[in-house]
Amino acid sequence: MTETSNLETIAVIGGTGKEGKGLAFRWVKAGYPVIIGSRSTEKARAAVAELEERLSDEEKARLTGMENSDAVRKAQIAVLTVPYEFHKSILQSLKAELSGKYLIDVTVPLVPPKVSTVQVPPEGSAALQAQLLLGDSVSVISAFQNISFELLLSDEKINCDVLVCGKDGESRQVGLKLVKAAGLTGWDAGPLENSIVAEGFTSVLIRINKQAGTKSAGIQITNVPRD
């Protein structure tokens, strides 16, 4: 039996969206206490109720929903899964609550209608934008940009890899641990500056999905030893 009593509490900011619910589902199944955050407590609780249909009674006890600031305040690790247009404003509103914590930024700088064309923010990436905005008191980690929510919400093994970037090795290890908990293979992809690669690749995968008539194209690292 997996020991779960010492696992960190995770707050999923924007957890009412598809990607947020997918990640929350995976981590609750892995034993983590998860809080779904939203600007509306009612929406957060509605997302919880939706996920509870897929969970056992024991798993349901680990999942709660609340307003974003309360969710972050109660967690050790925050995960941001919001559309890029809300990226700056939500981070600014939660800067105080995020201080001293890890933030996994899943945001991709997609700019409709050209979502299959790579967009680069002035800071270099959404993750670098987050780190600059929040300052050194927050350890920003970039991960999970290239995984479709349909795969996350299944109970099947996911044959996709995750590139993890962060300000230092310790931060990247935190990200890699949560990648493994979600049932995926993670790779230390280096400093936060490298997050431009994973973020930009999302637009490439969107283009591939459109061409192939699929919804869940992903990436895998090949020809290296795997655990």
| CB-count exposure of residue 154 (10 Å: 0-12, 13-18, 19+) | middle
Give the per-residue pLDDT at 4.
54
CB atoms within 10 A of CB 8: 15
Given pLDDT bands bounded at 50, 70 and 90, which one contains residue 15? Answer: confident
Structure confidence by residue, pLDDT tens digits, 122-149: 999 999 999 999 999 999 999 999 999 9
Distance CA 201, CA 162 (A): 12
Structure confidence by residue, pLDDT tens digits, 145-198: 999 999 999 888 899 999 999 999 999 999 999 999 999 999 999 999 999 999
Is the separation of the CB atoms in 220 and 157 below 8 Å? no
Q: In terms of residues, how long is the chain?
A: 227
Residue 77's CATH number: 3.40.50.720
160 is a domain residue: yes
Instruction: Say yes or no to pLDDT of 208 above 80.
Output: yes
218 is a domain residue: no
Looking at this protein, which amino acid is placed at residue 73?
A: R
161: containing domain: 10-212
Q: The pTM is what?
A: 0.94
182 is a domain residue: yes
**Count of domains for the chain:** 1
First-residue to last-residue Cα distance in the chain: 21
220 is a domain residue: no
CA 156 to chain centroid: 19
Query: What value does the mean pLDDT take over residues 105-128?
Result: 94
Looking at this protein, which amino acid is placed at residue 135?
A: G
Q: Which residue bears the tokens 């009593």?
A: 5
Question: Average pLDDT of the chain?
Answer: 94
56 is a domain residue: yes
CA 198 to chain centroid: 13
Looking at this protein, which amino acid is placed at residue 26?
A: R
227 is a domain residue: no
Q: Which residue bears the tokens 């995984």?
A: 147
Is the separation of the CB atoms in 63 and 34 below 8 Å? yes
Q: What is the largest CA-CA distance in the chain?
A: 47
CA atoms within 13 A on the CB side of 63: 31
Instruction: Say yes or no to pLDDT of 1 above 70.
Output: no
110 is a domain residue: yes
158 is a domain residue: yes
CB atoms within 10 A of CB 93: 14
